[in-house]
């Protein structure tokens, strides 16, 4: 972003595009978006006659400092449309690129029950945890689902398939 400050009029125009609410909730961007090749839409704002990434302007407005060219904005909520200043933080591009590479691998190979080698559905895992919690023996549950007793233990202790 240009080092030129936003005029009070531009700052008001920028803030009018944010549907702010509770401090903990995501604040949706109501302004323009740019569609990326991957299909995601990223908030943009027209300022000084050019299109700027809205998150960089958000950072400038709320934190009163500039981002270097090698710094990018990340979200704690993972919603690219969120403009809550409490949900953003800056990282260097190299770290951002490494995180995106990990996400691409995860998406490609699937995760949880979508993984090609997954033997149990999320519903089956929830049932296993429920049955063991209610006193059923792990060896009996394991035999019924065709898995090992140790795998049942890992599921119950949430050392495997934590997101279920």
- pLDDT per residue as tens digits for the range 131-150: 999 999 999 999 999 999 99
Instruction: Tell me how far apart the alpha carbons of residues 65 and 81 are, in angstroms, rounded to a whole number.
Output: 21
pTM tops 0.85: no
- Are residue 92 and residue 41 in the same domain, yes or no? yes
- What value does the mean pLDDT take over residues 114-128? 86
As a dihedral over the C-alpha atoms of residue 153, residue 156, residue 159, residue 164, rounded to 10 degrees, the angle is: 140
Q: Which stretches of 80-129 are assigned E, i.e. beta strand?
A: 88-92
Report residue 9 as tokens.
């009029």
Same domain for 69 and 118, yes or no, is no
Indicate the average pLDDT of the chain.
Answer: 86
In a domain, 15, yes or no: yes
Considering the domain architecture, whether residues 105 and 120 belong to the same structural domain is answered as no
Clarify whether residues 102 and 142 are in a common domain.
no
Which position has the higher pLDDT, 100 or 12? Answer: 12
Lowest model confidence (mean pLDDT) among 58-67, 84-93, 100-109, 113-122: 100-109
The verdict on 124 and 103 lying in the same domain is no
Asked whether residue 34 falls in the same domain as residue 81, the answer is yes
State pLDDT tens for residues 25-82: 999 999 999 988 877 888 999 988 889 999 989 998 888 777 888 888 888 887 888 9
Are residues 69 and 91 located together in one domain of the fold?
yes
Residues 46 and 76 in one domain: yes
What's the domain range around 57?
A: 8-109
DSSP codes joined into one string, 118-131: --S-HHHHHHHHHH
Identify whether the C-beta of residue 126 lies closer than 8 Å to the C-beta of residue 164.
Answer: yes
Q: Is residue 106 over pLDDT 70? A: no
């Amino acid at each position: 972003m240009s080092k030129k400050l936003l005029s009070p009029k531009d700052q008001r125009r920028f803030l009018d595009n944010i549907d702010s609410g509770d401090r903990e909730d995501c604040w949706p961007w109501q302004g323009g978006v740019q569609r990326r090749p991957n299909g995601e839409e990223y908030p943009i704002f027209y300022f000084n006659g050019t299109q700027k990434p809205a998150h960089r302007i958000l950072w400038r407005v709320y934190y009163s400092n500039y981002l270097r060219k090698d710094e990018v904005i990340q979200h704690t909520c993972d919603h690219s449309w969120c403009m809550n200043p409490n949900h953003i933080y800056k990282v260097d591009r190299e770290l951002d690129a490494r995180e995106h590479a990990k996400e691409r691998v995860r998406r490609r190979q699937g995760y949880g029950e979508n993984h090609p080698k997954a033997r149990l559905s999320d519903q089956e895992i929830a049932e296993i945890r429920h049955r063991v919690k209610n006193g059923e023996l792990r060896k009996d549950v394991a035999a019924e689902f065709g898995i090992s007793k140790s795998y049942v233990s890992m599921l119950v202790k949430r050392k495997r398939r934590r997101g279920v």
